[in-house]
Amino acid sequence: MKVKPLSDRVLIKTLEPEQESKKGGIIIPDTAKEKPQQGEVIEVGPGRVTEEGKKIEMEVKKGDKVLYGKYSGTEVTIDGVEYLIMRESDILAIIG
Amino acid sequence: MKVKPLSDRVLIKTLEPEQESKKGGIIIPDTAKEKPQQGEVIEVGPGRVTEEGKKIEMEVKKGDKVLYGKYSGTEVTIDGVEYLIMRESDILAIIG
Amino acid sequence: MKVKPLSDRVLIKTLEPEQESKKGGIIIPDTAKEKPQQGEVIEVGPGRVTEEGKKIEMEVKKGDKVLYGKYSGTEVTIDGVEYLIMRESDILAIIG
Amino acid sequence: MKVKPLSDRVLIKTLEPEQESKKGGIIIPDTAKEKPQQGEVIEVGPGRVTEEGKKIEMEVKKGDKVLYGKYSGTEVTIDGVEYLIMRESDILAIIG
Amino acid sequence: MKVKPLSDRVLIKTLEPEQESKKGGIIIPDTAKEKPQQGEVIEVGPGRVTEEGKKIEMEVKKGDKVLYGKYSGTEVTIDGVEYLIMRESDILAIIG
Amino acid sequence: MKVKPLSDRVLIKTLEPEQESKKGGIIIPDTAKEKPQQGEVIEVGPGRVTEEGKKIEMEVKKGDKVLYGKYSGTEVTIDGVEYLIMRESDILAIIG
Amino acid sequence: MKVKPLSDRVLIKTLEPEQESKKGGIIIPDTAKEKPQQGEVIEVGPGRVTEEGKKIEMEVKKGDKVLYGKYSGTEVTIDGVEYLIMRESDILAIIG
């Protein structure tokens, strides 16, 4: 099944904490601040259209590893794999 | 009876969970996050007109299968069939 | 007495549930979601003027049957008949 | 004493419910919805200036009878007569 | 000491209720609605600059008597006299 | 140490109430309204850039004495002296 | 591991209070007001794109020492070092 996000939304395959540990790169400290999570961009929308009728290009592309806030996006499970759909503005950074 | 949505609204025929199971594609996990639902686009509005007087083209079209947030839209039942009317911005993705 | 709505407002003659039943078209299910109601457009305003000084054309016209949210608009009774005044953006769809 | 409203504000002479009854036109039903009231436009401001520096023309003019929400505007009493000052956007319709 | 308001702010010398009574013009009724107060414009700012970089001209000028909401503005006392600084958008009307 | 504010922010050296008394100009009455405070502009940012990509010129400059709301800005102490950093829009007026 | 912030976000290496004391420059007083913290800009995003499709240039660059609000940004730890990702608009000033 294919999922094509609308506007500036992206489909993200979440990386499990265990996977994060194996990669060893980013460790999330245990504080009151919002903790980001890692994922991989699987699909990107065509980009947002502004009030001026201008299309804003997406900054992320398929395959990018990204950081996003822990409570960002909407969960979907496709063919048994967990994904998130969120707006690009909820993505903090590209990593790798 | 015909329903013609205004602005950037769409009329969506909701797919029952049973129907979703038969299709087997998207399984919604039982978590605290918002859970999307599937539906089919039956009618689309002409598109939103911006402050600049520009018409923003719709991204979805009749027949598209879409994902949307569980609490999106307004319920209507037409000739015994349940539908939702929502703004296109409440639709997360096109699937299929 | 004549009522001429301002900006993008419309004057709507509400259709009573009994009248709706007679027409048989749209049945509102008993759920927690907002339930739309039917009405007929009696008068329309000249349209909204944007920050750019552009007039946005109205999508509805006199005589249109429309769906709107149950709690939309302001009630007025003119010559014993109940009406609602609401912004066009509160109208979900044209039906018929 | 003269009162010249600023921007898109209007000075309205409220019509007492008794006066409304005499005119017989609009009867406000006793429901939970916001109930509009009638008044006469006594003075109008020059119109709102947008972010673009454009002046938006007023839709109402001196002498117009108008409907407005019950809790709209700010009360002032000039020479013993009660008035309201409100923005034109708080006016629902011109009647008569 | 001189006070030069910024942007679209104005410096207003409040008129005491006693002064208002002497003038006899505006009497504020005792209701739940916001009650305006009178004052005299002492200084005006240069005007607001919009997102477009356009300067919006001030509608009020030095010497204008104005009506404003009771809780508008910030109090300052200069050389023993009480003033208010508020944005022009908080001024309801020019009187006199 | 040098502090260069970003965007339309300004660095302000707060004037202590004692200093205010010596100057004798502005006395803050004891009411429920917000009470402004005095300070001197030490550094100004380059100005805000609008959505149109236009730079809005600063109205205040180094050395200006200004009034601002009591709870405006963020406190910093540099080399033992207390300063505030706030947006220019939080400044009410230039005094002197 | 490399972190490339999106839009107008920046990656900041937080300076510990101990480090701040050694530098001796900015001492944060113990009051109810928000207290800024120091950090060093490690990476900057490409800049925000406005509704007009214009890119707003970043004001900060790699290596800048900056002040920001205590509760700004999202914490990430990369290779054992604590960082913050925040929007440039959360940065108060460049110091040094």
Among B5, B84, B79, smallest CA distance to B37 is for B84
Residues 6+ apart with CB under 8 A from A46: A6, A7, A55, A58, B59
Q: Cβ contacts of residue F93 below 8 Å, gap of 6+? A: E3, E4, E5, E6, E9, E11, E43, E45, E85, F66, F67
Please report the sign of the dihedral spanned by the C-alpha atoms of residue C73, residue C74, residue C75, residue C79.
negative
Kindly list the residues from chain F whose CB atom is less than 8 angstroms away from the CB atom of residue G44: none
Non-local (6+) Cβ contacts of B9 within 8 A are: B44, B45, B85, B86, B87, B88, C92, C93
Question: Is C25 in Cβ contact with B74 (below 8 Å)?
Answer: no
Q: Other CB atoms closer than 10 Å to residue C18's CB: what's the count?
A: 7
Number of H helices, E strands in chain E: 1, 8
Determine the Cα–Cα distance for residues E92 and E10; give it in Å rounded to an integer.
13
Counting CB pairs under 8 A, whether chains E and B reach 3 or more, is no
- Name residues whose C-beta falls within 8 Å of residue C95's C-beta, 6 or more positions apart in sequence: B1, B2, B3, B4, C25, C26, C38, C65, C66, C67
Residues 6+ apart with CB under 8 A from F59: E6, E7, E46, F88, F94
Winning range, highest mean pLDDT, from C51-60, E55-64, G7-16, G47-56: E55-64
Chain B residues whose CB is inside 8 A of the C93 CB are 3-6, 9, 11, 43, 45, 85
Nearest CB to E6; choose among F56, F69, F93 = F93
What is the reported pLDDT for A88? Answer: 97
Nearest to A91 among G6, G11, G49 (CB): G6
* pLDDT of res. E71: 87
Residue B13 burial (CB count, 10 A): 15
Chain G interface, Cβ < 8 Å to A:
1-7, 9, 11, 43, 45-46, 49, 51-53, 71, 73-80, 82, 85
Q: How far is CA B41 from CA A8, B15, B44, B94, in A?
A: 20, 11, 7, 10
pLDDT band (50, 70, 90) for residue E77:
confident
pLDDT given for residue G88 in this prediction = 97
pLDDT tens for residues B81-94? 889 999 999 999 99
pLDDT given at position F12: 97
This prediction has a pTM of 0.83
Q: E26 falls in which pLDDT band (50, 70, 90)? A: low
Q: Look-up: residue for tokens 């505030």?
A: F84
CB E40 within 8 A of CB E16: no
**Closest chain A residue to the Cα of B38, Cα to Cα:** A76
Predicted pLDDT at F89: 96
Chain C interface residues (partner B, CB cutoff 8 A):
25-29, 31, 33-36, 50-52, 54, 56-57, 59-60, 67, 69, 88-89, 91-96
Q: Tell me the average pLDDT across C63-69.
A: 95
**Strand (E) positions, C1-95?**
3-5, 9-14, 26-27, 36-44, 48-49, 55-56, 65-69, 74-78, 81-87, 91-95
pLDDT digits (tens, 9 = 90+) for A4-60: 999 999 999 988 654 444 445 565 544 444 557 899 999 999 999 988 888 999 999
Report d(CA F75, CA F81) in Å as an integer: 10
Beta-sheet strand order (sheet of F36-44): E3-5, F91-95, F65-69, F36-44, F9-14, F81-87, F74-78, G26-27
- For residue C20, give both structure tokens: 């709706």
**What is d(CA A75, CA B31) in angstroms, rounded to the nearest whole number?**
9
> Over the stretch B6-19, which tens digit does the pLDDT of each residue have?
999 999 998 865 44
In B, which residues are within 8 Å of A3 by CB distance? 67, 93-95
pLDDT tens-place string over residues F6-23: 999 999 998 865 444 444
Whether the predicted pLDDT of B52 surpasses 90: no
Nearest chain E Cα to F49, which residue? E51
Which range is most confident: A67-81, E36-50, E72-86?
A: E36-50
C-alpha distances (whole Å) from B59 to each of B87, B92, C89 are 11, 11, 20
Residue D84 has φ and ψ, to the nearest 5°, of -130, 145
Output the pLDDT for position B20: 44
pLDDT of residue C35: 59
Nearest to E39 by CA among E6, E18, E16: E16
* Torsion sign (Cα): C1, C2, C7, C13: positive
Which residues of chain G are under the pLDDT cut of 50?
18-23, 29-34
Q: Residue E49 carries which DSSP code?
A: B
> Residue D74: pLDDT band by 50, 70, 90 thresholds?
very high
CB-nearest to F6 from G51, G59, G96 is: G59
**Could you count the other beta carbons within 10 Å of the beta carbon of residue B52?**
15
Say which of D51, D57, D96 has its CB closest to residue C2.
D96
Q: How far is C27 from chain D (nearest CA, A)?
A: 23
Substitution target from C67, C68, C88, C90 for chain B, most B beta carbons within 10 A: C67
Q: d(Cα A5, Cα B94) in Å, to the nearest integer?
A: 6
Higher pLDDT: D10 or B50? It is D10
Mean pLDDT of the residues in chain F? 83
For residues B34 and D4, which has the higher predicted lDDT (pLDDT)? Answer: D4
> In angstroms, rounded to a whole number, what is the distance separating the alpha carbons of residues F77 and F80?
6
Contacts of E4 in chain F (CB under 8 A): 93-95
Pick from G64, G89, G27, G34: nearest CA to F87: G89
Contacts of G27 in chain F (CB under 8 A): 77, 80
Residue E55: DSSP 8-state? B
CA distances from A41 to A11, A12, A91, G9 (A): 6, 5, 10, 19
> Which among D15, D6, D62 is positioned nearest to E95, based on CA atoms?
D6
Interchain CB distance below 8 Å, E75 and F51: no
Closest-CA distance of chain E to residue F82, Å: 23
Chain A's closest residue to G47, CA to CA, is A59
Chain A CB contacts of B29 under 8 Å are: 75, 77, 82
Domains of chain G: 1-16+34-60+68-90 (2.30.33.40)
Asked whether the beta carbons of residue A95 and residue G2 sit closer than 8 angstroms, the reply is yes
The per-residue pLDDT for G18 is 42
Task: Report the residue of chain G nearest A68, measured CA to CA.
Answer: G74
Q: Are A69 and A34 in contact (CB under 8 A)?
A: yes
Q: Give F94's strand partners.
A: E4, F66
pLDDT at A35: 58
- Rg, chain G, Cα only: 14
Q: Which chains reach chain G with 3 or more Cβ–Cβ distances below 8 angstroms?
A: A, F
List C-alpha distances in Å: B52 to C61, D89, G96. 23, 20, 44
Residues in chain B closer than 8 A to C35 (CB atoms): 74-75
